[in-house]
Structure 1
């Protein structure tokens, strides 16, 4: 007797999703037989807005691309802008930047561990991990003035220096998180229930990872040794022997499943602690900005023509920015590629043949950011003509009035 297939729509608004996206699954019994992922629910046109502002304003607009990892895009932005403009940040700033970036990696990875635990119903682990995450958020607030959206990077350096009291607080946090990661290994990686729920779930082979061009922890969990800090080092990373964390270095083999990516993220926290400790112990003396006067910086930007591509290894994977300057105080072209743009491509092959109960784990597996992924949308007619603002606004008004008429009866 033939099986009956049922259609399950998930999103764009759903309790398991932090941000809007739509996953349409067709199931036979508990097995998923067809998947369609639809994006585009969170586009805000940030790149377009950035090309209407000066470079400093656009820098802080870039922080708003991602709400969780809000240093990732500013870091890629300043690295790219400095290449295009011929500006070199002072050595002290080049060491302060990785400290902030690695502290954010710690908070992001711990946040992910809580989220993946929540998706499988392990809420006690969610509360425990997020309690541990508070210390790094408090430290970031001490160093930058904010728990999120730190506004600390600048083209040519950083806006805030580190004091002796800051150094002590950072070293205290390093000690705390070395103990915390050991606890995570014992509570999470050694837990038979967690292992049973994640081994073989969301399993991405090395071959499929390469085919889909996934990045960050998703690629490393599949055994691919790639990391921008290792492959194209920048700032203080060039002085540190950063080696990508892959499961085969820890347990001898890479299976690319949810357990392996958990292991990769926990061991990357330890790697971040090593990087922070190195930067603190070898922090150079000197100034923190190449051009402290912001009007002078904008004047230099107006006088300079250039373009460049730059990247930063964000907690989710590589963030790539392209900037072009051609005689005004802001970029004439600004393009961004975020890791979720690549990693969401893995959902369909991971979900095909999986159980319905595994959908939340597969979705959370890549730590998706829809606002990173969606920046602008173009609507076209069947003939390929791009629809302009007037047409879209007219249709929006017509739809609103239609809904109002239906509601009012």
Structure 2
């Protein structure tokens, strides 16, 4: 006999609000449903009420850990509307900041994953060592989060020789952190037993669900916007796109681990080949009337921005498709047939970004019993 186990919207295993209703038989997940907010906080509508410049800061606040990802995608899309080509030095600086933020995101994700597995020693170690990456971002941009480095036609801050020396020194430390992380992944048998052959997403199913980023590459789908449609300075970078075929949690772990190595390589190449010249354009034309579409390879996968201009200083329409919108759809498939105890690490394995979900608690006066329901369920109850 099966029963329904609610997880969320607020739950220790979830770092943001999401609602899962899992049908289980004993410890085995046999079905379920979920509800997400799809990142809707009125940001797209608010963007139509602000200028193109002001929206750079709004885009950064779509996601705290991916703030440069969003501002880069937004500025590149607006630059396409303006027919702008930023200076080469600005493109290289964008690449450096972009990959530094990827390092910070992946190390944070590794720490969260270790915590979900109960491996808090590794969790504390990874988050402590992640501070070296945060110090790089602070030296580059003057801030640790919401970096504010991008502007239309370039970047706001230049990189001095002293900053380059600082980055190189910190990257040497990060290399050792990555090496130790690799040993934890490859040599800890208990850790491997919790992630190998768990939460499998086969390649064919991954294609049907249109997953992106490390989730797709962990299932053998060879896609990466940085290589397939280069932006910033990626066309001049020599890097590999990590790929794993098994589709389980371990595959997604290995993809992100290998991306740590590639990110340090890209940062070093960008610093070594950093061209001279200005970091931004002095004059900006007025946006042309029309439409533009931009995409970048975020830490969780492909991020898409669509902007429609009516010829004024404010966009007529801004549409944002975050990677989690498509990746989240794969979670239920990964959970089917797995143990309920593995659900938290399965959810964490795609590094989801949830928005808030409506919920209330109903107290039955007669029985004094409580149950959690969605707002839609409450409306049906009221109508009945």
Fold conserved between structures, TM > 0.5: yes
Specify every segment of 5 or more residues in structure 1 that has no aligned partner in the other structure, as ranges: 248-253, 378-394, 403-409
Are residue 219 (structure 1) and residue 203 (structure 2) matched? no
> Partners of 1:237 and 1:306 in 2: how far apart?
27
Q: What's the CA shift string for 1:251-306, capped at 9, x where partnerless?
A: xxx21111111111111011001100110000011100113xxxx64xx335x223
Q: How does 1:227-376 map to 2 (within 5 A)?
A: 227-247=224-244, 254-291=245-282, 297=284, 300-301=285-286, 304-371=288-355
Aligned length: 361
Tell me if structure 2 keeps the 8 A contact 1:301–1:325.
no
* Distance in 2 separating the partners of 1:206 and 1:317: 16
Tell me the distance in 2 between the aligned counterparts of 1:320 and 1:241: 24
Within 5 Å, give how 1:7-406 maps onto structure 2.
7-40=4-37, 43-247=40-244, 254-291=245-282, 297=284, 300-301=285-286, 304-371=288-355
Q: Secondary structure at the match of 1:311?
A: strand
What is the rounded CA distance, in whole Å, between the counterparts of 2:170 and 2:34 in structure 1? Answer: 40
Distance, in Å, in 2 between the alignment partners of 1:202 and 1:63 is 32
CA deviation string 1:71-114 (max 9, x = no partner): 11111111111111101100000100010000000010011111
Paired residues of 1:229 and 1:242 also in contact (CA < 8 A): no
> What secondary structure is seen at the aligned counterpart in 1 of 2:294?
strand
Aligned residues of 2:239 and 2:265 also touching (Cα < 8 A): no
> How far does the alpha carbon of each residue in 1:127-171 deviate from its partner, in whole angstroms, 9 at most, with x for none?
011011111111101111111100110111000000111101111
* Residue aligned with 1:370, SS: coil
In the TM superposition, residue 243 of structure 1 has moved relative to its aligned partner by 3.1
Does the Cα contact within 8 Å between 1:20 and 1:42 map onto a contact in 2? no
Alignment root-mean-square deviation, CA:
1.8
Question: In the TM superposition, what whole-angstrom CA distance separates every residue of 1:304-357 from its partner, at most 9, and x where no partner exists?
Answer: 223211111111001010112222112111101010001001011111111100
Cα-to-partner distance string for 1:361-396 (whole Å, 9 max, x where unaligned): 11101101124xx89x9xxxxxxxxxxxxxxxxx9x
* In 2: Cα distance, 1:361 partner to 1:42 partner: 22
Larger mean CA deviation between 34-43 and 59-68 belongs to: 34-43
Q: What is the rounded CA distance, in whole Å, between the counterparts of 1:239 and 1:30 in structure 2? A: 50
Which residue pairs with 1:389 in the alignment? none
Structure 2, unpaired ranges of 5+: 359-374
Deviation (angstroms), 1:41? 7.9
TM-score, scaled relative to structure 2: 0.91
CA shift for structure 1 position 42: 5.8
Distance 1:73 1:42, change over 3 A: closer
Matched residues in 2 for 1:157 and 1:145: separation?
17
**1:203 and 1:218 mapped to 2: Cα distance?**
11
Aligned mates of 2:227, 2:239 — CA distance in 1: 5
User: How far apart are the structure 2 equivalents of 1:135 and 1:323?
Assistant: 36
- Length-normalised TM-score, structure 1: 0.85
Q: In the aligned structure 1, how far is the partner of 2:313 from the partner of 2:18?
A: 36
**CA apart distance, 1:222:** 0.7
**Offset of residue 189 of structure 1:** 2.4
Structure 1 Cα separation of the partners of residues 166 and 247 of structure 2:
36
Q: Which has the higher helix share?
A: 1
Structure 2 CA distance, aligned partners of 1:362 and 1:183?
23
Give every structure 1 segment of 4 or more consecutive aligned residues whose post-TM-superposition deviation is greater than 4 Å. none
Query: What per-residue deviation string (whole Å, max 9, x for no partner) do you get for residues 146-205 of structure 1?
Result: 111001101110000001111011111221122211111112222111111100111111
Matching residue of 1:382: none
Conservation of the 8 A alpha-carbon contact between 2:88 and 2:275: yes
Residues of 2 paired with 1:108 and 1:189: CA distance? Answer: 21
